[in-house]
Structure 1
Amino acid sequence: MTTTNPKPEGVSFSQEDWDEVSDTPPMTDAELAELKPLKEAAPEMYRLMTKRGRGRPPVESPKVNLTLRVDPAVLDAYKATGAGWQTRMHEALARGAGELAR
């Protein structure tokens, strides 16, 4: 599930903020002509800013996807416990695996 961060309440610029920066003079044609793209002016910064990681970060011990057949009553009992039932089922299986290893 993807979530977005809504804009926090009260975070905006006041008229005083805009008035404070409104006296910045416009750039001259000569200044504009001297501007370079970030890729040329600061290539390392550009590389770091445009580097994009793909997917989730790798985990040390990834879980294994498997199909498991269980009795419907067992599944219903776990689902009846509400959200997080898969985690609780995993924890019960992990405890059982620990007992088998003894």
Structure 2
Amino acid sequence: MADQPPRRPRTLGDARSEAEAAFKKVTAKVAAAPPKPNVAPGIKEQVTLRIDQDVLEFFQEGGPGWQDRINEALRKAAGK
């Protein structure tokens, strides 16, 4: 207990100030996350994507590389 600062007497004003500070801390808006830095082309990011089974089968019919084919189709659709 020697590590704790000495307690100061509480007054009504202090309790109110402390309550307001606690309320502000809990209700304060969280700053938006910083934007992701631009990444170099060709760097892949793993994501989970839900697509229709028939679309998946279409790309998988071509054998290995189906994920790259889906990526290429998405790039074309995005105008990239």
The higher relative CO (CA closer than 8 Å, separation ≥ 6) is in: 2
Q: Taking structure 1 as the reference length, what is the TM-score of the superposition? A: 0.36
Q: Taking structure 2 as the reference length, what is the TM-score of the superposition? A: 0.45
